[in-house]
Amino acid sequence: MANVDKLLEHIGDFGPFQKKMVILGSLPLVLIVFVFVGVVFLGHTPDHWCWSPGSEQLLQECGWTEVKVREVTVPHGEEAGSFSRCQTFAVNWSQSWNRCEAFEQELTLNGSHAVPCDGRWMFDKSHKTTVSEFSLVCEKAWLADLNQVFLASGFFTGAFVTGYVADRFGRKPCVVASMLGLGLTGVGIMLSPWYPLLLFLRFLQGFCGKGAWTATYVLVVEFFGAENRKFVSMVGRSFYSVGMVILPGLAYSLVSWRNLQLAMSLPCFLFVFYYWIVPESPRWLFSRGRSREAIKVASDMAKCNNRVLPHNLQEMISLEEKKEAPSVSFKDLFRTPKIRKNTLILTYAWFTSTVVFQGLVLRLGITGDFLWLRKPVAIIGRLAVAVGFETVNFANAEMYPTALRNVGLSVCSSASDIGAIASPFLLYRLANIWKELPLILYGVMSVLYSALVTLLPEMSGVSLPETIEDVENLKRSRDKSKDKMGNDQII
């Protein structure tokens, strides 16, 4: 296998080409944020109350406003000025509705008995959401939760399929197809007249979102040398944060959830042009025996970085074309000792990071005492977990050979999707036994996490492994690795 890091060092591993690529590769993250977090606004539950059959009669025959009708037909809530969201007064509307003047007094005397709503719902009209359009409240509120469940299921499924596709057929085709899929499913969700269809499309959106995220990151990081790979993660996280800033502004300005969904989806189609703008990873091309294409990409990189290609490229081409492309299989993640160890540790790290991060967020919702202390502690804990998230992210890509890099990142990170589903169940079930028990679990999981990651190889300043044998032979220190890189020839 060609020493691609040595080639990158010769043509420039942190020049204008790489800086352009990291910007292009980070732009999709702005839209991927919309997929991950958009449900906060799309599926928001607005203020609502019961609109019983007699309410319409009162509105028409008595000339009352909707506010007046709500005041006399809906029980008041515990807080001042609030109303029950799921109940209405038990009233014989056929006898009472035509006596408008005495209705309020009669309701005060005899209408104290509240019953579940037997009509339709009225919603606050300031914003239209999926919850208000499909009436996903009260006994149907659990259906609204399925929105994220189907998305997480799509992430999990997409991890296995898109990871294999990116390692078998290329990073660039997977990125383009995934972004196109995000656009199509997003528009489909916007047009969906039925909630079950919306849920199915959310599953497909998660499927495409996983492919877009992992394939884009791996594609970009493979253009960088050993010393600058973390720069990719840092810039990507910055663009992710930009998406987090843009999204609330969009949600505030667009009243309808359908318009918001369309605004979040249409930009995805622009990334179809990446097919002509973004080159394929030369590492992947070399790993598949497509050396001539890899050299073409290297030539473009050298030109952009004002460098020249090494003189012995023709020798490398002739040698590489004689080699067969390695097969890609999920079994390879567990077949050899080093890769199996890395896979198990990284999977646990992804799972723990998500469970602890979301658990600390949800934990604040079930505690009221010492909130002034608990909140800062939770924020510090989430900050620490966020740092761990970033570390696991780029470490995951560094510890697999080129032929397994995308599938390794996809499969290991799928544990975070399981963690997102398991987190609330772990929190609330354990809190029912003892309120502090979830925190003890988080502490134990985090300490074990810290101990296990010390068993992973240090990759700082070390060339990205190109073959399974490279991973299995990662025994030398960083200095020794650098010395060997300096002595290797590009053959």
- pLDDT tens profile 472-484: 887 643 444 444 4
Residue range 303-328: mean pLDDT, rounded: 69
User: Please, which pLDDT band fits residue 152 given cuts at 50, 70 and 90?
Assistant: confident
Residue range 463-475: mean pLDDT, rounded: 82
Residue range 225-247: mean pLDDT, rounded: 87
Q: For residue 196, give every residue at least 6 positions away whose Cβ sits within 8 Å of its Cβ, in sequence order, or none.
A: none
Q: Mean pLDDT in the chain?
A: 82
User: Please, which pLDDT band fits residue 357 given cuts at 50, 70 and 90?
Assistant: confident
CA 405, 406, 412, 415: dihedral to nearest 10 degrees?
Answer: 170
Q: Is the pLDDT of residue 163 over 60?
A: yes
- What are the structure tokens assigned to 445, written together? 């999981």
Question: Greater confidence, 31 or 1?
Answer: 31
Whole-number Å distance between alpha carbons of 301 and 229 = 17
Quote the CATH superfamily of domain 4-43+142-472.
MFS general substrate transporter like domains (1.20.1250.20)
Exposure string over 441-450, b if 16+ CB within 10 A, otherwise e:
bbeebbeebe
Q: Is the pLDDT of residue 436 over 60?
A: yes
What is the model's pLDDT at position 486? 47
Residue range 145-158: mean pLDDT, rounded: 89
Name which of 125, 114, 127 is nearest 86 in CA terms: 114
- Report the range of poorest mean pLDDT among 14-28, 123-137, 205-219, 453-467: 453-467
What is the model's pLDDT at position 429? 82
Q: Is the pLDDT of residue 488 over 60?
A: no
Whole-number Å distance between alpha carbons of 219 and 199 = 30
In the chain, ranges of CATH 1.20.1250.20 domains: 4-43+142-472
| Residue reference for tokens 């080699």 | 323
Whole-number Å distance between alpha carbons of 198 and 204 = 10
Whole-number Å distance between alpha carbons of 256 and 252 = 10
Q: Is the pLDDT of residue 490 over 50?
A: no
Q: What are phi and psi of 120, to 5 degrees?
A: -110, 180
pLDDT in tens, 35-78: 988 988 998 888 888 787 777 777 777 777 777 777 777 776 66
- What are the structure tokens assigned to 346, written together? 């990284």
Q: What is the DSSP letter of 271?
A: G
What is the model's pLDDT at position 370? 54
Q: CB burial class (10 A; 0-12, 13-18, 19+) of residue 279?
A: buried
Residue range 439-448: mean pLDDT, rounded: 90
Q: Is 115 strand, coil or helix?
A: strand
What is the model's pLDDT at position 269? 97
Instruction: Kindly report the length of the chain.
Output: 491
One-letter-per-residue 3-state SS of 206-256: HHHHHHHHHHHHHHHHCCCCCCCHHHHHHHHHHHHHHHHHHHHHHHHHCCE
User: Please, which pLDDT band fits residue 102 given cuts at 50, 70 and 90?
Assistant: low
Residue range 369-380: mean pLDDT, rounded: 67
Residue range 450-458: mean pLDDT, rounded: 89
